[in-house]
């Protein structure tokens, strides 16, 4: 059986990538990788659904046992993508989505050169700031910090194979699904098929 | 306004590309280029719908006036893709499909490096022969000739960016549509957008 695709989705905070990913899982049945973290659960977060919540010792132990595809430390907390789930799902032929930061995405690409990297963005910087402000729950300071973080992440955009503008949720979800569907038809993934077809036809 | 995409669809005789193209036009509203030819109309063929039927003099005159994007001579007949329709549709922002032979496709790609080349194929050589035989209308000799032609065309497969297997019509049509949809999100087509976003965010 053909292995499933590994799909890495990143994007600016405020570009709505979380919602896009949820819809991809719901509408099209993609497998979603759940990250592990040492940060404390926020209200309403469920262990094993939002994150796997780990102690720092547990997390470090998993690092030692090669338990993560990628991991990183932000401020005082660890975040990582558990290897087992991803590899098992792909072996079953299921397409797996990782929703991770740009740095993590680069690490994944190094280990899995076939991974499909998709970056979700707003129409422009103005729209991004409006969306961050629009939540109404954040202070100017937090918004500025997020915009600064977005500027850092933007440097990685050109490492992504596809850039999808999320100005319409339905269309954005459909476009990302289309990108994944079309992937398996790329010439580069069908070199063996082309060679076999040529051989069969010449022998006919 | 953004120009429409130029989509070139080729494939083996018997792989069902004609049906796929008809469905793409019907289901998704793509603009379809109608070829010009000097061969005589077959029963039921309508001028301007199946082909533009031209005399050899008319056709040669159009060649002299740069009226074709690509043209070729097969056996005693000329075939060509009228330039005007394609360029006008693209300028209107419409995606245009050309259903043409491999050699014509190579000519188009040289003139329009952004053209999207898609090759439609059957599951394998055996399935192709069965489909050709299955029509029941062709002699062994004609089938052999088509298979020989397929072997020649197979040499061009690796020049196509996407290879789509037509083992299920609905899925094939949906896959080709997905490939076209995803095209505009490719990194290579968004270099300017990435640069603008970076600049805007740094200035924020």
| Mean pLDDT, rounded, of chain A | 92
**Percentage of residues of chain B with pLDDT beyond 70:** 99
pLDDT the model gives residue A138: 75
Task: Quick: pLDDT tens for A99-154.
Answer: 999 999 999 999 999 999 999 999 888 888 888 887 677 788 888 888 888 999 99
Question: Quick one: residue B87, left, alpha or beta (phi over 0 = left, psi -120 to 50 = alpha)?
Answer: alpha
Task: Quick: pLDDT tens for B192-202.
Answer: 999 999 999 98
Q: Is the pLDDT of residue B61 over 90?
A: yes
Over residues B113-117, the mean pLDDT reads: 95
Nearest CB to B187; choose among A121, A129, A161: A161
Confidence bin at B96 (pLDDT 50/70/90): very high
Q: Cβ separation of A164 and B185 shorter than 8 Å?
A: yes
pLDDT the model gives residue B135: 67
Q: Domain A6-33+95-202, what fold?
A: Rossmann fold (3.40.50)
Low-confidence stretches of chain A (pLDDT < 50) are: none
From the CA of B45, how many Å to the nearest CA of chain A?
31
Task: Quick: pLDDT tens for B80-95.
Answer: 999 999 999 999 999 9
**Percentage of residues of chain A with pLDDT beyond 90:** 77
pLDDT the model gives residue B1: 67
Nearest CB to B154; choose among A157, A175, A197: A197
Beta-carbon contacts of residue B21 (< 8 Å; ≥ 6 apart)? B9, B32, B97, B99
B194 CB neighbours in chain A (<8 A) are 154, 157-158, 163
Q: Is the pLDDT of residue B73 over 60?
A: yes
Q: Is the pLDDT of residue B155 over 70?
A: yes
Over residues B149-165, the mean pLDDT reads: 94
Beta-carbon contacts of residue B161 (< 8 Å; ≥ 6 apart)? A186, A187, B116, B117, B118
Q: Where are the domains of chain B?
A: 6-202
Best CATH choice for the domain B6-202 from the list 3.40.50.300, 3.90.25.10, 1.10.3210.10, 3.90.78.10: 3.40.50.300
Judge whether A110 and A6 are in contact, CB under 8 Å: no
Q: Is the pLDDT of residue B72 over 80?
A: yes
Give start and end residues of each alpha helix (H) in A1-50: 17-28
Q: Cβ separation of A182 and B178 shorter than 8 Å?
A: yes
pLDDT the model gives residue A1: 67
Task: Quick: pLDDT tens for B174-191.
Answer: 999 999 999 989 999 899
Chain A CA closest to residue B200? A125
Taking the C-alpha atoms of residue A157 and residue A17, their distance in angstroms, rounded to an integer, is 14
H or E segment to which residue A181 belongs: helix A169-183
Whole-number Cα distances in Å, A173 to A27, A167, A179, A183: 9, 11, 10, 16
pLDDT the model gives residue A39: 94
Q: Cβ separation of B162 and A185 shorter than 8 Å?
A: yes
């Amino acid at each position: 059986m053909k292995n499933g695709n590994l799909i890495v989705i990143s994007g600016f905070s405020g570009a709505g990538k979380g919602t896009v990913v949820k819809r991809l899982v719901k509408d099209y049945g993609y497998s979603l990788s759940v990250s592990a973290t040492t940060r404390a659960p926020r209200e309403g977060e469920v262990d094993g659904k939002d994150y796997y919540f780990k102690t720092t010792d547990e997390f470090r132990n998993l690092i030692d046992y090669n338990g993560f595809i990628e991991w990183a430390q932000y401020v005082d907390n660890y975040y990582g993508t558990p290897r087992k789930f991803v590899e098992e799902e792909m072996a079953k032929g299921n397409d797996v989505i990782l929703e991770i930061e740009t740095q993590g995405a680069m690490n994944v690409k190094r280990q899995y050169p076939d991974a499909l990297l998709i970056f979700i963005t707003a129409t422009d910087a103005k729209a991004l700031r409006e969306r961050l402000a629009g939540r109404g729950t954040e202070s100017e300071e937090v918004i500025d910090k997020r915009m600064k973080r977005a500027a850092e992440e933007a440097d990685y955009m050109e490492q992504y194979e596809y850039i999808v503008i999320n100005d319409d949720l339905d269309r954005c979800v459909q476009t990302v699904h289309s990108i994944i569907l079309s992937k398996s038809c790329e010439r580069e993934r069908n070199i063996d098929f082309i060679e076999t077809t040529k051989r069969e036809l010449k022998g006919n």
